[in-house]
Amino acid sequence: MSSLADTAPAFVEVAHRIVWATLATVDRRGRPRSRLVHPMWEWDGERLVGWVGSAVTPMKLAHLERTPWVSVNYWDPEHDVATAECRAEMLLDDASCTELWEKFKAMPPPVGYDAADIPMWRDGPTSPLFGALRLDPWRLRVFPAVFGRSGGAEGEILTWKTDPNSARGT
């Protein structure tokens, strides 16, 4: 098992290089529901927090209300993989949405973007269609591609986890 201090920076490097991830929620019958998302991760040396500018839909809100646990998975064609198992919280207040909107706008591409370029969000961060999805990981895994390059393993597999109940909001 790796430390958070070792795993989080490696996770952010892979996540911000790949940019797009699959995020899965769980429906009322316990079935997974996946969607493509564009997360941003903030590592301050002690805590990792992920953010997604999220379309606010009744289905997604119902899933998160039933169970706040989500899985975020990155994969690239070279087969580098990074996974975050998280507690998720949809923040809908104007202050949180505006703060996230500005964070994405200020961050350089490819992670940063102007959400106003997305047609459903043209009304800005206080639109009822825009939500700030906060991700607090309780388990991280960084799995660099190990086959087909240089005849052997490249990189180290890193795994960190903590008690899921220590994730924010529990």
pLDDT average, residue stretch 107-129: 96
- Distance, in Å, from the CA atom of 73 to the CA atom of 162, rounded to the nearest integer, reads 18
Tell me what pLDDT residue 166 has. Answer: 81
Angstrom distances, CA of residue 150 to CA of 13, 95, 143, 145, 154:
21, 49, 17, 11, 8
**Res 3 pLDDT > 50:** yes
Residue 78 has pLDDT above 90, yes or no: no
Q: Residue 63 has what pLDDT?
A: 96
pLDDT for the residue numbered 149: 46
pLDDT at residue 41, rounded to an integer: 98
Percent of the chain surpassing pLDDT 90: 85
Q: What is the pTM of this model?
A: 0.92
Does the N-terminal peptide bond of residue 144 adopt cis geometry, omega within 30 degrees of 0? no
**pLDDT tens sequence across 38-55:** 999 999 999 999 999 999
CA–CA distance, 5 with 68 (Å, rounded to integer): 25
Q: Which residue segments constitute the domains of the chain, with CATH numbers given?
A: 4-166 (2.30.110.10)
CA distance 133 to 109: 20
Show the tokens assigned to 52: 């997604």
Q: Given this model, what pLDDT does residue 148 score?
A: 42
**pLDDT band at residue 156 under the 50/70/90 scheme:** confident
Indicate if the pLDDT at residue 152 is higher than 80. Answer: no
CA-CA-CA-CA dihedral for 95, 97, 98, 100, to nearest 10? 120
Is residue 153 very low, low, confident or very high in pLDDT (cuts 50, 70, 90)?
Answer: very low
pLDDT of 5 above 90? yes
Can you tell me the mean pLDDT for 128-154?
80
